[in-house]
């Protein structure tokens, strides 16, 4: 076992897969010096400039080069420094990368990964560098979506994303980069589409993703002191979605709270709520509640961030409301 920060878990996964497969290459802004979040430090020294490429400040060029490299037989991993910048290259992601396998009748696959920093996290990045945008990608057929919650998940899920033959978007929450956890020695791999039960419970199901998994865990501890047993589910991936993990938990608890950092307006939590309404209606003892970020451009001031961000206290309040039913 080794203690790794979340950012070093990214580095460990990249090194593991580059060592395993010489077709894996990296490209992005400033990545030869480690990148702005220091997730690629030392990789150019270890694997050389033929496999670690600095790019101009052009997301369109980065994504286009990654697509071409994948079509030519490489397995590129392109860093989009902040997920907000997908807005600059979204046409290529949505209309080219996501659709190539379908438009070629399966003759051309794109084994590429687009990864980068995502999320609010009360870090003061503001409305152009602090958004959670995984819900943008969830509604695009042809893209797989990964968002790890811990260093262990980061290594295993990123490895699975790199080995996948379809395009995968990996969202790394910037507020998690400094967090530490023990990661087992040896090769790590976690199949995409398998949620995990973080904590078992009998009264309510809390569903989280990325940073909200930890929020749900802290809320569950607070609820336990009030005599309420909460089960916590980490989705790990939005596409493919482990629907059975959610439905199975709801069948046991009868109550569901979905916790997402995205603005609530058309966030991924709406899809989970709809899933429960359509396929677990008879199991539900109370309406599904969503706890989400505010429907406003993300503020810079910490006091305002605290108003619109999700928190364990908001989750606890939602559960207490459900328990009245």
| pLDDT tens by residue, 167-185 | 999 999 999 999 999 999 9
Point out which residues pair with 77 in neighbouring strands. 26, 113
Question: How confident is the model at residue 122, as a pLDDT?
Answer: 62
What is the arithmetic mean of pLDDT over 222-240? Answer: 97
Q: Which residues belong to CATH 3.40.50.920 in the chain? A: 196-322
Question: How confident is the model at residue 128, as a pLDDT?
Answer: 85
Q: Which residues contact residue 160 at a Cβ distance below 8 angstroms, ignoring those fewer than 6 apart?
A: 146, 189, 190, 191, 192
**162 CB neighbour count, 10 Å cutoff:** 25
* 253 band by pLDDT with thresholds 50, 70 and 90: very high
Specify the DSSP class assigned to residue 300.
Answer: S
Question: How confident is the model at residue 45, as a pLDDT?
Answer: 98
* 299 band by pLDDT with thresholds 50, 70 and 90: confident
The DSSP H or E segment spanning 77 is: strand 75-82
Cα 208 to Cα 21: distance, rounded to the nearest angstrom: 32
Q: Does domain 196-322 have CATH number 3.10.20.30?
A: no
Specify the DSSP class assigned to residue 38.
Answer: T
What is the arithmetic mean of pLDDT over 238-245? Answer: 98
Given strand 256-263, what is the order of strands in its sheet? 196-199, 230-234, 204-208, 256-263, 289-293
3 state SS of 84: helix
Question: How confident is the model at residue 130, as a pLDDT?
Answer: 86
Architecture of domain 2-183: 3-Layer(aba) Sandwich (3.40)
What is the arithmetic mean of pLDDT over 280-302? Answer: 92
* pLDDT reading at 186 higher than 70: yes
Q: Which residues belong to CATH 3.40.50.970 in the chain? A: 2-183
Contact 284, 322 (CB under 8 A): no
Question: How confident is the model at residue 255, as a pLDDT?
Answer: 98
- State the catalytic residues: 59, 129
What is the arithmetic mean of pLDDT over 202-225? Answer: 97
Q: What is the pTM of this model?
A: 0.96
Among residues 108, 87, 86, the alpha carbon closest in space to that of 99 is found at 108
* pLDDT reading at 123 higher than 80: no
pLDDT in tens, 139-170: 999 999 999 999 999 999 999 999 999 999 99
Q: Which residues contact residue 239 at a Cβ distance below 8 angstroms, ignoring those fewer than 6 apart?
A: 137, 138, 143, 144, 145
């Amino acid at each position: 076992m080794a203690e790794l920060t979340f950012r070093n878990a990214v580095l460990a996964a990249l090194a593991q897969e580059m060592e395993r497969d010489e077709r894996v290459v990296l490209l992005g802004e400033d990545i030869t010096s480690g990148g702005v979040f220091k997730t690629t430090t030392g990789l150019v020294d270890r694997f050389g400039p033929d496999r670690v490429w600095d790019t101009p400040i052009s997301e369109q060029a980065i994504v286009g080069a990654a697509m071409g490299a994948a079509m030519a037989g490489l397995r590129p991993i392109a860093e989009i420094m902040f997920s907000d910048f997908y807005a600059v290259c979204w046409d290529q992601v949505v209309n080219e990368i996501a659709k190539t396998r379908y438009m070629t009748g399966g003759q051309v696959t794109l084994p590429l990964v687009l990864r980068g920093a995502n999320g609010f996290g009360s870090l003061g990045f503001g409305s152009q560098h602090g958004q959670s945008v995984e819900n943008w990608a969830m509604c695009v057929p042809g893209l797989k979506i990964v968002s790890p919650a811990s260093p262990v998940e980061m290594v295993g899920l990123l490895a699975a994303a790199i080995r996948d033959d379809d395009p995968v978007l990996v969202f790394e929450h910037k507020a998690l980069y400094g967090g530490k956890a023990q990661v087992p020695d040896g090769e790590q791999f976690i199949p995409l589409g398998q949620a995990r039960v973080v904590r078992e419970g009998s009264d309510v199901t809390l569903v989280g993703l990325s940073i909200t998994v930890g929020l749900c865990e802290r809320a569950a501890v607070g609820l336990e002191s009030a005599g309420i047993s909460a089960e916590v589910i980490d989705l790990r991936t939005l596409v493919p979605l482990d629907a059975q993990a959610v439905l199975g938990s709801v069948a046991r608890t009868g109550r569901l709270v979905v916790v997402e950092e995205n603005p609530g307006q058309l966030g991924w939590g709406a899809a989970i709520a709809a899933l429960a309404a359509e396929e677990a209606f008879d199991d539900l003892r109370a309406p599904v509640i969503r706890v989400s970020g505010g429907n406003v451009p993300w503020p810079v001031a910490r006091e305002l961030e605290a108003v619109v961000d999700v928190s364990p206290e908001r989750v606890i309040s939602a559960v207490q409301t459900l328990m009245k039913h």
